[in-house]
């Protein structure tokens, strides 16, 4: 996550406190605090919706799309905490005038919005619920957000709806609802600014590389970025993210390598064939080849090799002075994606070292394997990682202990939906209770 984005979010959330503070002389402070929490929740939810709309320029401010989704999640969690507190801390202020029927309705609608949002956010954070059901349920989040806005519009407040404070809150409400409508009604239905066709498929053990040729305008991308792909087949029309594993080229050709992991990717790797039309949305992400002369260590686990393929395939253009050791963790010695291409590159380039680690035979790749080769350079090295989250966390903590600067551990997340450790918290609580 980029610092300017975080600072911006904090400022955006704190601005209303200035107006509420000014009201503190006239109204009870506790009720005003509760109203501020309600306002902060609406602003945070509005921001979360705006971030999810993948607007141009947002990656520049907030970091790659994977980081934006993390921010989206934490904004939602923050909003839920604020809403919960707003619900339990009495926000009512006596003497604001007679209550109307609409105000009573707004009160009840607020409760519905609160419980609806709590349930949907809980479903998001419990990552064991399959993605397809989660995505279906997540579509309704904007409906409950709109109910929350209705509650805000018609509930009794110690300020006028046209006051600067109210207009500020309303700006985020309207922008949030418009972003939600754009994503639900327009984004998925637009034919896609870039249309491609499948020109070649290369089968590997458990994965398929797909080559795409542009039919109209090609997307612009940098090595290491990903895009969303939707194939024009009834079972394959869902939009899924895949890293572009080829180097950017003048012809606009794209390459992706898809590992059959779940329902969609299994169907895709089975049904994909030449000439199939494809819609491409992107490119996104900021996982870039570090432009440094220091020792670089790349760790690609399984299909996490794809961004590194984009990097090596664009080596000459991107980074002439590289010094790289790539660790590629694979599960077998079979027809594993890219191994031959990487071996040929390592044979011809003294600055590019390759270690293929067969976890099936050698056990899991660990920080000890990396430190055996690179302990002396840990203080100056750059480590780029793409693979399972658990392995990333373990590598980061052990390499940092061995002297790596935490800011020099770069990690690409292949997971858009992540938990906040609810399972770990539950396990910890259970242990304490027992
Ligand atoms: C930035 C990024 C880059 C990726 N690059 C590659 C790549 O180069 N090659 C590759 O094989 N895979 C890549 N993936 C992973 C790939 O997107 C998922 O494996 C795929 O979407 C899983 O769908 P499924 O229905 O087969 O699996 P499921 O079993 O349904 O899901 C497996 C996992 O994928 C996630 N997922 C499912 N559907 C979607 C969706 N529509 N959008 C986003 N996430 C989803 C789920 O959260 C789940 O954790 C990448 C993911 C991200 C976020």
Q: Are residues 306 and 270 in the same domain?
A: no
Q: Do 148 and 46 reside in the same domain of the chain?
A: yes
Report whether residue 151 contacts ligand 1, using a CB cutoff of 6 Å: no
More reliable by pLDDT, 168 or 183 = 168
Say if ligand 1 is within 6 A of residue 286 CB.
no
pLDDT tens, position by position, 230-243: 888 888 888 899 99
In the structure, what pLDDT confidence band is assigned to residue 420 with cuts at 50, 70 and 90? low
Match 């895709």 to its residue by tokens.
Answer: 268
Please, are residues 289 and 223 in contact by the beta-carbon 8 Å criterion?
yes
- Residues with Cβ within 8 Å of residue 104, at least 6 apart in sequence: none
So what's the pLDDT on residue 191? 61
Q: Answer yes or no: is 426 within a domain.
A: no
Whether 240 lines ligand 1, by a CB cut-off of 6 Å, is yes
φ/ψ of residue 397, rounded to 5? -65, -40
Condensed to tens digits (0 to 9), the pLDDT of residues 249-276 reads 889 999 999 999 888 999 999 999 999 9
Q: How far is CA 17 from CA 11, 29, 169, 175, 268, in A?
A: 10, 12, 11, 20, 50
276 vs 260: CA distance, rounded Å: 18
Q: Is residue 236 within 8 Å of 264, Cβ to Cβ?
A: yes
Question: Which residue out of 183, 242, 308, 313 has the highest number of ligand 1 atoms within 8 Å of its CB and is therefore the one to mutate?
Answer: 242
Total domains, the chain: 3
Please indicate whether residue 196, judged by its CB atom, sits closer than 6 Å to ligand 1: no
In a domain, 430, yes or no: no
Is the bond preceding residue 283 a cis peptide, omega within 30 degrees?
yes
Please say if the pLDDT value at position 288 is more than 90. no
Distance between Cα 11 and ligand 1 center (Å)? 33
Atom of ligand 1 nearest to the CA of 132: 30
Q: Distance between CA atoms of 226 and 416, rounded to whole angstroms? A: 12
User: Is 394 in the same domain as 329?
Assistant: yes
CB 264 within 8 A of CB 240: yes
Choosing from 284, 313, 333, the residue where a domain stops is: 284
295-334 residue pLDDT tens: 899 999 999 999 999 999 987 654 566 789 999 999 988 8
Place of tokens 């249309």: 195
Same-domain status, 277 and 311: no
Which residues are 301's β-sheet partners? 329
Clarify whether residues 167 and 306 are in a common domain: no
Is 81:90 a contact under the CB 8 Å cutoff? Answer: no
Shared-domain flag, residues 254 and 328? no
Would you say 374 and 297 are in contact if contact means Cβ atoms under 8 Å apart?
A: yes
User: Is residue 182 domain-shared with residue 226, that is, in the same domain?
Assistant: no
Reference 142, options 85, 188, 185, 83; nearest CA is: 185
Q: What value does the mean pLDDT take over residues 202-215?
A: 93
| Residue 270, ligand 1, Cβ within 6 A | no
Q: Is 178 exposed, middle or buried, given 0-12, 13-18 or 19+ CB atoms closer than 10 A?
A: middle
Residue nearest to atom 31 of ligand 1 (CA): 262
Of 284, 315, 342, the one marking the end of a domain is 284
**How many angstroms is it from 415 CA to the middle of ligand 1?**
7
Residue 423 in domain: no
Inter-CA distances, 276 with 53, 209, 230, Å: 27, 14, 11
Ligand 1 geometric centre to CA of 297 (Å):
25
Average pLDDT, the chain: 89
141 lines ligand 1 (CB under 6 A): no
pLDDT for 316 equals 67
Query: Is residue 21's pLDDT more than 70?
Result: yes
Domain extent at residue 220: 194-284
> Are residue 158 and residue 223 in the same domain, yes or no?
no
Q: Name the closest-CA residue to atom 13, ligand 1.
A: 242
State in Å: Cα 131 to ligand 1 middle: 9
Structure tokens at 309: 């393929």
pTM for the full model? 0.82
In this prediction, residue 235 carries a pLDDT of 83
Same domain? For 204 and 181 the reply is: no
Residues whose CB is less than 8 angstroms from the CB of residue 305 and which lie 6 or more positions away in sequence, other chains included? 257, 328, 337, 338, 386
CATH number of the domain enclosing 406: 3.40.50.80
Residue 228 alpha carbon to ligand 1 centre in Å:
10
Q: How far is the C-alpha of 230 from the C-alpha of 352, rounded, in Å? A: 35
Q: Are strands 296-301 and 324-330 parallel, antiparallel or unpaired?
A: parallel
One domain for residues 201 and 350: no
Residue nearest to atom 21 of ligand 1 (CA): 240
- In terms of average pLDDT, the best of 11-20, 50-59, 64-73, 342-351 is 11-20
Residues 268 and 322 in one domain: no
40 and 168 co-located in one domain = yes
CATH number of the domain residue 225 falls in: 2.40.30.10
Q: What is the structure's pLDDT at 55?
A: 87
The string of pLDDT tens digits covering residues 333-392 is 888 999 999 999 898 888 899 999 999 888 999 999 999 999 888 999 999 999 998 899
Q: Is the CB of 243 under 6 A from ligand 1?
A: yes
Query: In this predicted structure, what is the pLDDT of residue 422?
Result: 65
């Amino acid at each position: 996550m980029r610092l300017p984005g975080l600072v911006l979010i904090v400022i955006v959330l704190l601005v209303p406190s200035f107006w509420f503070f000014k009201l503190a002389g006239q109204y009870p402070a506790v009720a005003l605090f509760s109203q501020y929490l309600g306002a902060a929740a609406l602003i945070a939810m509005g921001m979360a919706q705006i971030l999810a709309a993948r607007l141009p320029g947002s990656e520049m401010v907030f970091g790659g799309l994977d980081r934006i989704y993390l921010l989206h999640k934490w904004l939602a969690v923050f909003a839920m905490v604020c809403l919960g507190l707003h619900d339990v801390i009495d926000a009512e202020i006596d003497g604001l005038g007679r209550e109307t029927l609409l105000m009573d309705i707004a009160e009840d609608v607020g409760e519905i919005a609160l419980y609806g949002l709590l349930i949907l956010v809980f479903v998001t954070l419990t990552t064991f619920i399959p993605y397809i059901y989660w995505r279906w349920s997540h579509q309704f989040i904007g409906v409950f957000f709109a109910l929350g806005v209705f509650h805000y519009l018609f509930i009794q407040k110690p300020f006028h709806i046209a006051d600067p404070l109210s207009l500020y809150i309303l700006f985020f409400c309207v922008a949030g609802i418009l972003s939600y409508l754009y994503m639900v009604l327009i984004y998925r239905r637009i034919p896609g600014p870039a249309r491609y066709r499948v020109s070649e498929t290369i089968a590997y053990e458990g994965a398929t590389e797909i080559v795409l040729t542009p039919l109209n305008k090609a997307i612009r991308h940098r090595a290491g970025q990903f895009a969303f792909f939707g194939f024009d087949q009834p079972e394959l029309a869902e939009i899924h993210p895949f890293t572009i594993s080829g180097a950017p080229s003048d012809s606009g050709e794209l390459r992706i390598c898809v590992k059959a992991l779940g329902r969609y990717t299994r169907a895709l790797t089975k049904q994909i064939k030449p000439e199939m039309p494809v819609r491409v949305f992107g490119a996104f992400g900021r996982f870039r080849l570090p432009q440094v002369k220091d020792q670089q260590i790349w760790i690609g686990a399984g299909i996490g090799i794809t961004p590194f393929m984009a990097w090596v395939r664009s080596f000459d253009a991107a980074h002439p002075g590289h010094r790289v050791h790539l660790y590629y963790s694979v599960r077998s010695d079979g027809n594993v994606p890219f191994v031959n291409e990487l071996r040929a590159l390592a044979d011809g380039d003294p600055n590019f070292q390759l270690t293929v680690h067969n976890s099936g035979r050698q056990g899991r790749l660990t920080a000890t394997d990396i430190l055996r080769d690179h302990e002396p350079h840990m203080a100056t090295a750059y480590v780029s990682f793409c693979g399972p989250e658990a392995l990333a966390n373990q590598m980061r903590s052990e390499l940092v202990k061995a002297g790596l600067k935490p800011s020099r551990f770069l990690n690409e997340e292949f997971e858009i939906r992540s938990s906040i450790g609810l399972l770990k918290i539950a396990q910890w609580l259970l242990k304490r209770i027992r």
